[in-house]
Amino acid sequence: MVQKAERVNAPQLSGRIAAARQGRPVGNVTRGTTNPNRMRRLDRWLAGPQAWRLRSAADPLVVDLGYGASPATAVELHDRLAAVRPDVRVCGIEIEPERVRAALPLQRPGLTFHVGGFELPVPGRPVVVRAFNVLRQYEEADVPGIWRLVQERLSPEGLFVDGTCDEIGRRVTWVALDRDRPLSLSISVRFGSFDLPSDVAERLPKALIHRNVPGEPVHAFMQAMDRAWLESAPLASFGNRQRWVGMCRSMRGAGWPVQDGPARWRLGELTVDWESVAPLDHQGP
């Protein structure tokens, strides 16, 4: 059952953490909506540019936090990351006990399910924590405290991914954070699923979705993408893939800190440094 959201911002966190130590998870029961293959774009990024984290980890522990009413995406995450690190351990964590009970028959070597929340009730320090379509159901003011709580549990090279996507994973965005600070914002879209790149704005992570207004950096970023997309229209004769690559090149040429290169861009992916899109009142680490 979905409960009315309780605040989890800074004043409440210390009490909620203390409760977690007594066996009460930190967080709220969410809607749990999910679909098979919904996280494929993020999983591809984890198994691509971020694969070094798994390969170099002494303990390849990965957490799928808030996997939802079906464990399908946790199973898929294990399958995909096992191709990078065969001994990877994926722990699916859900705050709703019935969802965990339903997932237990799918446990296997390297894949387990646990009741819990943002306190991450698993031994060890994860090298990756994925929380998708979870924080969007909280208040924006709660996000920094939740981020810090998860960051404190990461391994030295660990990564926390806070993301949002549409129902079938065609429009996807995520913020990546290490133990100290947010690192980047990524956008990944299926060609043909949008008219303008800014159509993805309705799927921005909670930390940014209410900041897509004039005067905020993320709004300027969305507008710059649209301009570069329109300016790259002549490349459409070679397909939208080449048009997207042209857009990314144009964005980089205009001074945006665009990461990676054509190999990632051709996938409908674009990643920029967090500092370029961070809310004005949250600039800096």
From CA 276, how far away is CA 5, in angstroms rounded? Answer: 31
Q: Would you say 150 and 127 are in contact if contact means Cβ atoms under 8 Å apart?
A: no
Predicted confidence at residue 7, as pLDDT, reads: 54
Q: What pTM was estimated for this model as a whole?
A: 0.91
Phi, psi of 128 (to 5 degrees): -145, 135
Mean pLDDT computed over 192-220 = 98
108 forms beta bridges with: 111
DSSP for residue 213: S
- Residue range 1-180 in CATH 3.40.50.150: yes
Amino acid 161: pLDDT: 99
Sign of CA dihedral 39, 42, 48, 50: negative
pLDDT digits (tens, 9 = 90+) for 100-120: 999 999 999 999 999 999 999
pLDDT at 4: 41
- Helix (H) or strand (E) holding 102, with range, is helix 97-103
Mean pLDDT of the chain: 92
Split at pLDDT 50, 70, 90, the class of 10 is very low
Cβ distance 154 to 142 under 8 Å? no
Coil, strand, or helix at residue 21? helix
Structure tokens at 190: 């299926």
Give the pair of three-digit tokens for residue 213. 């207004």
What pLDDT digit, counting tens, does each position of 232-282 carry? 999 999 999 999 999 999 999 999 999 999 999 999 999 999 999 999 986
The closest alpha carbon to 225, from 178, 183, 189, 181, belongs to: 189
C-alpha–C-alpha distance, residues 264 and 139, integer Å: 32
Indicate the domain borders of the chain: 1-180, 192-279
Contact yes or no for 257/183 (Cβ under 8 A): no
* Closest C-alpha among 207, 74, 70, 73 to residue 138: 207
The token pair that represents 229 in the structure block: 């997309």
Residue 34 is predicted with a pLDDT of: 81
- For position 29, what pLDDT does the model report? 85
Cα atoms found within 13 Å of the Cα of residue 211, Cβ hemisphere only: 18
Contact (Cβ atoms closer than 8 angstroms) between residue 26 and residue 10: no
Angstrom distance (rounded) from CA 174 to CA 157 = 18
Q: How buried is 19 (Cβ within 10 angstroms: 0-12 exposed, 13-18 middle, 19+ buried)?
A: middle
**CA angle, corner 55, sides to 74 and 241, nearest 5?**
70
For residue 195, list its beta bridge partners. Answer: none
